[in-house]
Amino acid sequence: MSTTGGRRPWADRGAALGDRLRGGGKGAGVAVPPGDGEGRGRALPRGQGEGGRRALPFGAGGLSAQRRRGLLRLGGLLAALALLVALVVVLVGDRDPENPNAIVYRDAADTKGPLDILSAQMNQAGPQLVLTLRTAGIWTPGQLAEQPGRSVCTTLFAKDEETPSSKVCVSSREGAPALELTRYRDGRAQAPRPMAGEIRRRNLRLLEARFALRDAKVPLGKFRWQVSTLWAGEPGGCPPASLPVAQCTDRLPDGGTSPGKVTEPLLLGCTWPDPSYVLNGPRAKRVVALTFDDGPSTYTGQVLDILKRFKARATFFVVGENVIERPGDLQRVLREGNSLANHTFTHVSIADADPPAARQLDRSTAAIREATSFTPCLFRPPFGSKSAKSIALTRRKGMKTIGWDVDTSDFKRPGAQTITRTVLSQTKPGSIVLMHDGGGPRDQTVQALPAILRGLRAKGYRFVTVDQLLGVKGRYA
């Protein structure tokens, strides 16, 4: 497969300049007066005086031999430089004008089958990698499943590793496009498994696949990637997979891998869908959102430790005056994949939706933004005290009001076993569970949390943030 990206006008001009300097270009001549330009006289051919000057081409005695050699060397260098620039652009790729940090790799049509790669690029969008792939032919994910061996994959490598760290492939699941992840351990591929992500197709030649950096095991910093496709059978004139012959395969880049780099995602804000107030999420999937109010406090770090150990996520509704005292806790909340939300500045009711209530929202949002650069778009009213006016006020401030459908009453200190039993008995698909990591002694909540996580996971629940539960979209730098 070739990575030729088309003719480059500057390369043509550089080569033309070299030709002209050698005297071979069209119209390559100049009028040369008596003398060689350095004050020295020169004998003109017979019949020519000062009034009979004629155009002499380069290399025909118009310049001194030393200057001609210098100009010829300069022309050759310019032509070589233009050719080198063109080759670098072809081999390294074109910068995407809409995203100057992304490199688009282009390739000529050089193999049979619809999966001949014409271009590919890998870009970072917050906590996700985005692969954009354009093929010569049209295809559907369903066709990939029709014959064994058909595949569209991107292989990811750590910066200095020879063996892959993971491979992400497009597959068909229940007739719909899906992603499949293969991880590598000690150089050996593990069994493929379904992968969370998103596939967009504007047309049948263009693929955009989004997946989490964390799921693909891509570390911060530099990494490498390569896209590969394989097509077997018809349509496309490719041998069927059953024949022991070379199939229609393609790679981009052709040889080696492409460099990439990921940075720490910086979450700036979010946008949310209607309605403005909810008690729970959709009931279709066995997911649950654990939430913690009134922090941060000395208990917040303990809660985060447990969540990290169980690879679970939660949402923290924080009080602004506590944020000022413990900004590091908020930074860790976001760094470990959890969510932050507003819970007023001093934990007071805003049901009256008066100017003091508006200031409570503004001051808490400002404290969160100062600590993390993140602007929250979720709010929980203290004591659950709300009104139509307060919900409207919160909406004007850019936030959705969040309630709960499972109340542990852990602030009453009923005991860790009671807290656990309440959660396990009342949780339903899409539930939002209310607990506390601040506002008083929360040792019972910390003690109950591991049993809650184990018990819900045994029932088939996955742990998501409120943002994930309700389809809130993050906005990243």
Answer for the pair 3, 254: CB distance below 8 angstroms, yes or no: yes
Residue 445 — pLDDT band, cuts 50, 70, 90?
very high
Are 18 and 156 within one domain? Answer: no
- Model pLDDT, residue 245: 65
Residue 36, in any domain of the structure = no
Are 321 and 358 within one domain? Answer: yes
Task: Identify the residue with better confidence: 455 or 90.
Answer: 455
How far is residue 425 from each of residues 415, 431, 451, 455, 472, measured CA to CA in Å?
Answer: 16, 12, 13, 10, 27
Which of 262, 292, 326 is the C-terminal boundary of a domain? 262
Answer for the pair 376, 368: CB distance below 8 angstroms, yes or no: yes
What's the CA gap between 275 and 401, in Å, rounded?
A: 9
- Model pLDDT, residue 225: 94
| pLDDT above 70: percentage of residues in the chain | 79
Radius of gyration of the chain (CA): 33
Half-sphere exposure of 429 (CA within 13 A, CB side): 6
Residue 145 — pLDDT band, cuts 50, 70, 90?
confident
Three-state SS string over the chain comes to CCCCCCCCHHHHHHHHHHHHHCCCCCCCEEECCCCCCCCCCCCCCCCCCHHHCCEEECCCCCCCHHHHHHHHHHHHHHHHHHHHHHHHHHHHCEEECCEEEEEEEECCCCCCCCCCEEEEEEEEECCEEEEEEEECCCCCHHHHCCCCCCEEEEEEEECCCCCCCEEEEEEEECCEEEEEEEEEECCEECCCEEECCEEECCCCCEEEEEEECCCCCCCCEEEEEEEEEEECCCCCCCCCCCCCCCCEEEEECCCCCEEEEECCCCEEEEECCCCCEECCCCCCCCEEEEEEEEECCCCHHHHHHHHHHCCCCEEEEECHHHHHHCHHHHHHHHHCCCEEEECCCCCCCCCCCCHHHHHHHHHHHHHHHHHHCCCCCEECCHHHCCCHHHHHHHHHCCCEEECCCEECCHHHCCCHHHHHHHHHHHCCCCEEEEEECCCCCCHHHHHHHHHHHHHHHHCCCEECCHHHHHCCEEEEC
Are 238 and 143 within one domain? Answer: yes
Residue 145, in any domain of the structure = yes
Residue 39 — pLDDT band, cuts 50, 70, 90?
very low
Are 306 and 358 within one domain? Answer: yes
Three-state SS string over 179-219 comes to EEEEEEECCEECCCEEECCEEECCCCCEEEEEEECCCCCCC
Question: What's the pLDDT tens digit per position in 369-383?
Answer: 999 999 999 999 999
Are 183 and 72 within one domain? Answer: no
Residue 91 — pLDDT band, cuts 50, 70, 90?
very low
What's the CA gap between 296 and 65, in Å, rounded?
A: 82
Residue 469, in any domain of the structure = yes
Are 257 and 271 within one domain? Answer: no
Task: Identify the residue with better confidence: 30 or 384.
Answer: 384
Are 312 and 441 within one domain? Answer: yes
What's the CA gap between 266 and 334, in Å, rounded?
A: 9
Taking residues 73-78, report their average pLDDT. 74
Answer for the pair 230, 248: CB distance below 8 angstroms, yes or no: yes
Answer for the pair 266, 476: CB distance below 8 angstroms, yes or no: yes
Residue 43, in any domain of the structure = no
Answer for the pair 251, 230: CB distance below 8 angstroms, yes or no: no
- Model pLDDT, residue 108: 67
Which of 71, 90, 109 is the C-terminal boundary of a domain? 90
Range of weakest confidence among 25-39, 73-87, 111-125, 335-349? 25-39
Are 195 and 162 within one domain? Answer: yes
Are 275 and 328 within one domain? Answer: yes
Question: What's the pLDDT tens digit per position in 160-186?
Answer: 888 899 999 998 887 788 999 999 998
Residue 432: pLDDT over 80: yes
Range of weakest confidence among 56-60, 132-136, 210-214, 359-363? 56-60
What's the CA gap between 15 and 39, in Å, rounded?
A: 32
| Mean pLDDT taken over the chain | 83
Are 130 and 236 within one domain? Answer: yes
**Phi, psi (rounded to 5 degrees) for 365:** -60, -40
The catalytic position among 116, 293, 294, 437 is 293
Are 355 and 382 within one domain? Answer: yes
Q: Is 436 a catalytic residue?
A: yes
Residue 51, in any domain of the structure = no
Question: What's the pLDDT tens digit per position in 294-316?
Answer: 999 999 999 999 999 999 999 99
Domain ranges, residue 18? 1-24+57-90
Q: What is the CATH number of the domain that holds 470?
A: 3.20.20.370
Find where tokens 């943030």 sit. Answer: 465
Taking residues 69-88, report their average pLDDT. 66
Which of 225, 247, 262 is the C-terminal boundary of a domain? 262
Taking residues 37-45, report their average pLDDT. 39
What's the CA gap between 204 and 144, in Å, rounded?
A: 13
The catalytic position among 215, 329, 436, 437 is 436
What's the CA gap between 273 and 473, in Å, rounded?
A: 9
| Cα–Cα nearest to 434, from 393, 382, 387 | 382
Residue 41, in any domain of the structure = no
Cβ atoms within 10 Å of 300's Cβ, excluding its own: 25
Residue 66: pLDDT over 80: no
Burial class (CB in 10 A: 0-12, 13-18, 19+), 218: buried
Are 298 and 396 within one domain? Answer: yes
Total tally of structural domains belonging to the chain: 3
How far is residue 37 from each of residues 32, 45, 47, measured CA to CA in Å?
Answer: 9, 18, 22
Question: What's the pLDDT tens digit per position in 236-291?
Answer: 778 776 676 667 889 988 888 999 999 988 888 888 888 999 999 999 999 999 99
Residue 218: pLDDT over 80: yes
Residue 203, in any domain of the structure = yes
Residue 421: pLDDT over 80: yes
Residue 48, in any domain of the structure = no
Residue 408: pLDDT over 70: yes
Residue 70: pLDDT over 80: no
The encoded tokens of residue 448 equal: 């109950």
Cβ atoms within 10 Å of 270's Cβ, excluding its own: 22
Answer for the pair 182, 190: CB distance below 8 angstroms, yes or no: yes
Q: Which amino acid appears at position 73 of this protein?
A: R
Answer for the pair 159, 224: CB distance below 8 angstroms, yes or no: yes
